[in-house]
Amino acid sequence: MLKNKTILVLLLTVCLIIGMVGIGFSAEKQFIAIATGGTGGTYYPLGGALAQLLSNYVEGLIVTAQTGNASRANCNLISRGQIETAFSQANVTYWSYTGTGIYKNEPVITNLRGIASLYPETIHIIATKASGIKNIEDLKGKSVGVGAPNSGTAADAEIILKAHGLTFDDIKADFIDFNEVAQRLVDGQIDAGFTTAGYPTSSIIDIATKREMVLIPIREDKMKELVETIPYYGATTIPAGIYKGIDEPVPALATPALWICDARLEPTIVYKMTKALWEHRDVLEKVHSQGKNITLETALSGMGIPLHPGAELYYKEIGLIK
């Protein structure tokens, strides 16, 4: 009987130790989220792939990607401590951090820090062929989807319209996301729409397969003016054939997409995430063609905010910065 009691005590002790170890391992898990954008853009698929990459290659870290309204909205989430990391356009991130540009009368978001510059985001200005819109001035009086509230797309639309002597008051502005822009263009409920994303963009592919569409170019003189006066804009071209019915290259503006985070995030975690990104970035190429543009050579392009110390340590370690 005594022997049985001893065995029972030993078994209970072992179970207790196993339970404590299990609790210890569980407590070591850290959960982090990446705020992306709407499902019809480029942030969403790449954000999901990045979250999986980090979860696979950073021990003890569980990362999830969340949909959202993108750039400015994502910066606001970081400012309120509601998200740890996010994707955001370089221009919007800079204006949010410095309180300049179109956010000069808005609260400054000082806890934004950079992890990496990812790929170029191109501003697509789409119109149905039936609308007869051929240039940006033709948008006057038309129904136009200008991006979700507080998105980088909405900021780009405001800036481009202003450069052409227009404001949101001169158009019938709809503050809707990529998927809604696509659906309303297909349904004939709006005449045109803005979408800032890495091409090819799924929502625009969807439009092109269902309606005859055109991409509105930015004139050379306006392109030069915008690139020279607005930080983190660059001239680019949307290639012919990338969307059905677009048979000629289309001059457009682009701005880098950044991966940013809260300054309060632990340097060790950010270092490990940065390292995992660059050691396994080939994973992202399998998800979207823009993955091939995520390179160390452009890892700091358009970085108008301070690097997080954890990311900075990694870039120093590999000799990218001194």
Query: What tens digit of pLDDT does each residue of 279-320 get?
Result: 999 999 999 999 999 999 999 999 999 999 999 999 999 999
In this predicted structure, what is the pLDDT of residue 148? 92
Q: Which CATH superfamily is domain 122-255 in?
A: Periplasmic binding protein-like II (3.40.190.10)
Q: How much is the pTM?
A: 0.86
What per-residue confidence (pLDDT) applies to 28?
A: 79
The DSSP code for 58 is S
* Residues 260, 272: Cα–Cα separation, whole Å: 15
Average pLDDT, the chain: 91
Query: Using one digit for the tens of pLDDT, what is the confidence trace for 225-250?
Result: 999 998 899 999 999 999 999 999 99
**CATH 3.40.190.10 in the chain, residues?**
27-120+258-317, 122-255
pLDDT mean over 170-185:
96
Terminal-residue alpha carbon distance, the chain: 72
Q: What are phi and psi of 107, to 5 degrees?
A: -60, 140
Tokens of 222: 């306006």
Domain spanning 27-120+258-317: which superfamily? Answer: Periplasmic binding protein-like II (3.40.190.10)
Which range among 68-72, 85-89, 115-119, 173-177 shows the weakest confidence by mean pLDDT?
68-72
Give pLDDT, residue 2: 38
Is residue 84 within 8 A of residue 261, CB to CB? The reply is yes
- Cα-atom radius of gyration of the chain, to the nearest Å? 23
Whether 25 shows a pLDDT value over 80: the answer reads no
- pLDDT tier at 216 (50, 70, 90 boundaries)? very high
Report which of residues 234 and 23 the model is more confident about: 234
Assign 27 a pLDDT band (cuts: 50, 70, 90).
low
Please answer whether residues 121 and 198 qualify as being in contact, where contact means their C-beta atoms are separated by less than 8 angstroms. Answer: yes
What pLDDT does 70 receive? 84
Both tokens of 194, joined, read 């803005």
Phi then psi for residue 5, to 5 deg, are: -65, -40
Q: Would you state the pLDDT for residue 248?
A: 96
* 251-260: pLDDT as tens digits: 999 999 999 9
> What is the distance between the alpha carbons of residues 27 and 318, in angstroms, rounded to a whole number?
32
Confidence (pLDDT) at 38: 87
- Report pLDDT for 145: 98
Residue 228: in which H helix or E strand, if any?
helix 220-229
pLDDT-based confidence at 40, cuts 50/70/90? confident
